[in-house]
Structure 1
Amino acid sequence: MPVRHALATALGAAALLCAAVGPAAAGTGESITVDPTGTVAPDGTVTLSGTYRCTAGTGPVLVGSSVGQSDPRVQQGVGGGVALCDGAEHRWENSGEVVPGSVEAGPAHVQAALVELRPSGIVPLPYFHAVAERDVTLVQD
């Protein structure tokens, strides 16, 4: 499995976990936002964006996002990337293909999270630096 695909899968899982366990309190000076508009392409690729701010951690910090539309209990991971945690505000943009026909232009619900993979024995454990949810409008790309 390509590294980028594995990272996107891990971030999507983290975003879904975030939905299951609820929002975590952001650390001092740490935040993530979601822009009010995203895009959906004819091939099903969804692009979401926003801003984040975080401080250094003990492991890699990732920006994950997910989108849901008709059923608020169903979220699909949308890409992911590595965050630069230097205390400054940065832009993030995640793109990924969702299940064909499951997302279309119109209202949608987005979750985004800054998730650190902290070393803990054999398996790194997720630590949420910041979490955000927002109703957005997806426009046709």
Structure 2
Amino acid sequence: MTLWDSSFDGLSDDQIFELLDRALFVDLGQPEAKIEEDGERYWRFALLTNTGEHFDGYKVFAVRRDSCIHFLVQLPDDSIVSRVCDLSQVMVVLHEFLSWFRLVSAQPNGPMKLTGVPCHGPVFPAR
């Protein structure tokens, strides 16, 4: 699985954001089967979406173009911006985060002690 889809070919970052937002979050009256198909195809691009935008006003998608990750961000004023990071730097940050998470997860209650959510097993029920 990659962070690119052939439907993005030839599109700008703004156009990719609109495609993903429409496919995942806009009700166009499409049949349930199309909603499920779009979810399976595009959900991997959603980054912290549906977990925080209703609290902080941001919606973020991530796509990979060549050796860069493009973070496509909808700001609280509904404008769209794109921030580009080198893939190698994104990988460094992810590895550092995972190292931190493993460390604190080994502690009693881990990083979730403030929320009461256990750090073992799925937080969300399996589909």
TM range (shorter): under 0.3
- What TM-score do you get using the length of structure 1 for normalisation? 0.23
- What TM-score do you get using the length of structure 2 for normalisation? 0.25
Which gives a bigger RCO, structure 1 or 2 (Cα 8 Å, sep 6+)?
A: 1
Indicate the structure with greater strand content: 1
